[in-house]
Structure 1
Amino acid sequence: MDELERKIELLKKSLAATWSSLAKSSSSADDKCQMRAQAKRCSEELRRCLLIAEAKHTREHVKAVSDQDGRTLPKPNFRFLSTGAATEAADPA
Protein backbone atom coordinates (compact mmCIF):
# COMPACT_ATOMS: atom_id res chain seq x y z
CA MET A 1 0.00 0.00 0.00
CA ASP A 2 1.53 3.29 -1.03
CA GLU A 3 1.45 6.58 0.86
CA LEU A 4 -1.56 7.96 -1.03
CA GLU A 5 -3.65 4.84 -0.31
CA ARG A 6 -2.71 5.03 3.39
CA LYS A 7 -3.69 8.69 3.49
CA ILE A 8 -7.04 7.91 1.84
CA GLU A 9 -7.77 5.17 4.38
CA LEU A 10 -6.78 7.44 7.27
CA LEU A 11 -9.03 10.24 5.97
CA LYS A 12 -11.95 7.83 5.55
CA LYS A 13 -11.56 6.60 9.12
CA SER A 14 -11.18 10.13 10.47
CA LEU A 15 -14.25 11.32 8.60
CA ALA A 16 -16.33 8.38 9.82
CA ALA A 17 -15.17 8.93 13.39
CA THR A 18 -15.97 12.64 13.24
CA TRP A 19 -19.50 12.09 11.94
CA SER A 20 -20.07 9.28 14.44
CA SER A 21 -18.89 11.54 17.24
CA LEU A 22 -21.18 14.31 16.02
CA ALA A 23 -24.16 11.96 15.96
CA LYS A 24 -23.56 10.66 19.50
CA SER A 25 -22.25 13.82 21.08
CA SER A 26 -24.05 16.00 23.54
CA SER A 27 -21.35 18.63 23.07
CA SER A 28 -21.89 22.34 22.97
CA ALA A 29 -22.95 24.06 19.78
CA ASP A 30 -19.46 25.51 19.40
CA ASP A 31 -17.85 22.07 19.69
CA LYS A 32 -20.28 20.65 17.13
CA CYS A 33 -19.52 23.54 14.79
CA GLN A 34 -15.80 22.80 15.10
CA MET A 35 -16.42 19.08 14.45
CA ARG A 36 -18.45 19.88 11.32
CA ALA A 37 -15.67 22.19 10.11
CA GLN A 38 -13.16 19.40 10.71
CA ALA A 39 -15.38 16.97 8.79
CA LYS A 40 -15.62 19.43 5.91
CA ARG A 41 -11.84 19.89 5.75
CA CYS A 42 -11.32 16.13 5.93
CA SER A 43 -13.90 15.56 3.21
CA GLU A 44 -12.25 18.10 0.91
CA GLU A 45 -8.83 16.53 1.44
CA LEU A 46 -10.27 13.05 0.84
CA ARG A 47 -11.88 14.24 -2.40
CA ARG A 48 -8.54 15.73 -3.52
CA CYS A 49 -6.68 12.50 -2.74
CA LEU A 50 -9.28 10.40 -4.55
CA LEU A 51 -8.94 12.59 -7.65
CA ILE A 52 -5.17 12.17 -7.55
CA ALA A 53 -5.53 8.40 -7.18
CA GLU A 54 -8.00 8.27 -10.08
CA ALA A 55 -5.66 10.31 -12.30
CA LYS A 56 -2.77 8.04 -11.37
CA HIS A 57 -4.82 4.95 -12.19
CA THR A 58 -5.93 6.44 -15.51
CA ARG A 59 -2.34 7.27 -16.48
CA GLU A 60 -1.24 3.72 -15.65
CA HIS A 61 -4.14 2.27 -17.67
CA VAL A 62 -3.37 4.44 -20.71
CA LYS A 63 0.30 3.48 -20.51
CA ALA A 64 -0.56 -0.23 -20.31
CA VAL A 65 -2.88 0.03 -23.31
CA SER A 66 -0.35 2.03 -25.33
CA ASP A 67 2.35 -0.57 -24.62
CA GLN A 68 0.32 -3.19 -26.51
CA ASP A 69 1.73 -3.51 -30.03
CA GLY A 70 3.01 0.07 -29.84
CA ARG A 71 -0.47 1.46 -30.56
CA THR A 72 -2.56 3.59 -28.27
CA LEU A 73 -5.75 1.61 -28.89
CA PRO A 74 -6.43 -1.64 -30.73
CA LYS A 75 -7.69 -1.18 -34.28
CA PRO A 76 -11.44 -1.88 -34.50
CA ASN A 77 -12.68 -4.60 -36.83
CA PHE A 78 -15.61 -2.96 -38.64
CA ARG A 79 -17.73 -4.64 -41.27
CA PHE A 80 -19.77 -2.46 -43.61
CA LEU A 81 -22.90 -3.81 -45.25
CA SER A 82 -24.57 -2.37 -48.28
CA THR A 83 -28.23 -1.42 -47.90
CA GLY A 84 -29.28 -4.34 -50.10
CA ALA A 85 -27.39 -6.85 -47.97
CA ALA A 86 -28.86 -5.35 -44.81
CA THR A 87 -32.45 -5.73 -46.05
CA GLU A 88 -31.75 -9.29 -47.27
CA ALA A 89 -30.36 -10.17 -43.83
CA ALA A 90 -33.40 -8.67 -42.13
CA ASP A 91 -35.96 -10.35 -44.43
CA PRO A 92 -34.73 -13.79 -45.57
CA ALA A 93 -38.02 -14.61 -47.39
Structure 2
Amino acid sequence: MKIGDHVTIGEGTIVQAATIGSFVSIGKNCVIGRFAIIKDCCRIEDNTVIPPNSVVPSFSVYKGSPGKLVDELPESIQDIYEARTKDRYAKFIPSMN
Protein backbone atom coordinates (compact mmCIF):
# COMPACT_ATOMS: atom_id res chain seq x y z
CA MET A 1 0.00 0.00 0.00
CA LYS A 2 1.25 3.47 -0.85
CA ILE A 3 -0.13 6.57 0.90
CA GLY A 4 0.81 10.05 -0.31
CA ASP A 5 1.47 13.28 1.58
CA HIS A 6 -1.14 15.32 3.46
CA VAL A 7 -3.62 12.44 3.76
CA THR A 8 -6.14 12.25 6.61
CA ILE A 9 -8.03 9.07 7.46
CA GLY A 10 -10.96 9.20 9.86
CA GLU A 11 -11.41 6.89 12.81
CA GLY A 12 -13.08 3.55 12.24
CA THR A 13 -12.04 3.50 8.58
CA ILE A 14 -10.72 0.30 7.01
CA VAL A 15 -8.18 0.84 4.23
CA GLN A 16 -7.12 -1.96 1.90
CA ALA A 17 -6.32 0.26 -1.08
CA ALA A 18 -3.38 -0.25 -3.41
CA THR A 19 -2.66 3.49 -3.60
CA ILE A 20 -3.90 6.65 -1.95
CA GLY A 21 -2.59 9.80 -3.59
CA SER A 22 -1.56 13.04 -1.90
CA PHE A 23 -4.00 15.64 -0.56
CA VAL A 24 -6.77 13.14 0.20
CA SER A 25 -9.33 13.29 2.99
CA ILE A 26 -11.07 10.04 3.96
CA GLY A 27 -13.92 10.36 6.46
CA LYS A 28 -14.95 8.26 9.44
CA ASN A 29 -16.24 4.68 9.19
CA CYS A 30 -15.34 4.23 5.52
CA VAL A 31 -14.25 1.05 3.80
CA ILE A 32 -11.69 1.36 1.03
CA GLY A 33 -11.70 -1.95 -0.83
CA ARG A 34 -8.77 -4.08 -1.89
CA PHE A 35 -6.66 -2.75 -4.74
CA ALA A 36 -8.65 0.49 -4.97
CA ILE A 37 -6.77 3.49 -6.31
CA ILE A 38 -7.58 6.92 -4.94
CA LYS A 39 -5.91 9.62 -7.00
CA ASP A 40 -4.62 12.98 -5.69
CA CYS A 41 -6.89 15.71 -4.32
CA CYS A 42 -10.00 13.71 -3.38
CA ARG A 43 -12.50 13.59 -0.54
CA ILE A 44 -14.26 10.45 0.59
CA GLU A 45 -17.25 11.33 2.80
CA ASP A 46 -18.07 9.62 6.11
CA ASN A 47 -19.57 6.08 5.89
CA THR A 48 -18.57 5.62 2.23
CA VAL A 49 -17.68 2.23 0.77
CA ILE A 50 -15.27 2.26 -2.16
CA PRO A 51 -15.53 -1.17 -3.84
CA PRO A 52 -12.45 -3.29 -4.59
CA ASN A 53 -10.53 -2.42 -7.78
CA SER A 54 -12.21 1.00 -8.06
CA VAL A 55 -10.43 4.13 -9.28
CA VAL A 56 -11.41 7.45 -7.69
CA PRO A 57 -10.35 10.29 -10.04
CA SER A 58 -8.56 13.46 -8.95
CA PHE A 59 -10.61 16.41 -7.61
CA SER A 60 -13.65 14.26 -6.89
CA VAL A 61 -15.94 13.78 -3.89
CA TYR A 62 -17.35 10.29 -3.32
CA LYS A 63 -20.20 9.34 -1.02
CA GLY A 64 -22.48 6.37 -0.35
CA SER A 65 -22.42 2.61 -0.38
CA PRO A 66 -21.16 1.88 -2.92
CA GLY A 67 -19.34 5.21 -3.28
CA LYS A 68 -20.42 7.36 -6.19
CA LEU A 69 -19.23 10.69 -7.55
CA VAL A 70 -21.33 13.43 -5.93
CA ASP A 71 -19.25 16.57 -6.43
CA GLU A 72 -15.96 18.00 -7.66
CA LEU A 73 -13.29 19.85 -5.70
CA PRO A 74 -11.69 23.16 -6.71
CA GLU A 75 -8.07 23.25 -7.87
CA SER A 76 -7.18 25.12 -4.64
CA ILE A 77 -8.01 22.03 -2.53
CA GLN A 78 -4.35 21.05 -2.43
CA ASP A 79 -3.47 24.24 -0.51
CA ILE A 80 -6.43 23.77 1.85
CA TYR A 81 -5.53 20.15 2.71
CA GLU A 82 -1.85 21.02 3.14
CA ALA A 83 -2.67 23.85 5.58
CA ARG A 84 -5.07 21.58 7.50
CA THR A 85 -2.57 18.73 7.93
CA LYS A 86 0.24 21.12 8.92
CA ASP A 87 -2.04 22.66 11.54
CA ARG A 88 -2.90 19.22 12.97
CA TYR A 89 0.75 18.21 13.02
CA ALA A 90 1.76 21.42 14.80
CA LYS A 91 -0.55 20.53 17.68
CA PHE A 92 1.50 17.36 18.37
CA ILE A 93 4.92 19.02 18.55
CA PRO A 94 6.01 19.66 22.16
CA SER A 95 6.96 23.24 22.95
CA MET A 96 10.63 23.97 23.67
CA ASN A 97 9.97 26.42 26.54
TM-score (norm 1): 0.28
Q: RCO greater where, 1 or 2, for CA within 8 Å and sep 6 or more?
A: 1
Quick check: which one's helix share is greater? 1
Quick check: which one's strand share is greater? 2
